[in-house]
Amino acid sequence: MITDRGQAIAQLVPAPESASAIDRLVAERGAQRGRGKLLDVLGKLPQPIPGPPSAQLLDELRSERA
C-alpha cells in the first residue's frame, strides 16, 4: 500500500500479463490460497441426496409452465 499523508493512494500488485487469476484475486480481493489436498476433502463429503437430479426437476417444472 502506498500512502500520502496517511491516506492510501495506490497499491502495488503483480502485472496483469504475468499474474494468474488466483494471483489477481489474492492481490485485489483478499482471497486466500487453498491449503491441503482436494482429494483428502473429497472423501469426507456426504453422499448425494437420493432422488432425481435437480436439473430433471427443474425441466419438469418449466415444461408445466409452458
pLDDT in tens, 9-41: 998 877 767 778 888 899 888 899 988 888 888
Question: CB count, 10 Å around CB of 37?
Answer: 8
Please state, in angstroms and rounded to a whole number, the distance separating the CA atoms of residues 63 and 61: 5
Residue 58 scores a pLDDT above 90: yes
Residue 56 scores a pLDDT above 90: yes
Domain range for 29: 2-65
Three cell numbers written together for 50 = 437420493
Rg over CA atoms, the chain: 23
Number of separate domains in the chain: 1
The strand pairing partners of 10, in sequence order, are: 2
What integer best gives the mean pLDDT of the chain? Answer: 87
Residue 8 scores a pLDDT above 80: yes
Share of the chain above pLDDT 90, in %: 38
Q: If you write DSSP's letter for every residue of 23-61 in order, what string do you get?
A: HHHHHHH------S-HHHHHTTSPPPPSSS-HHHHHHHH
What's the confidence (pLDDT) of residue 4? Answer: 94
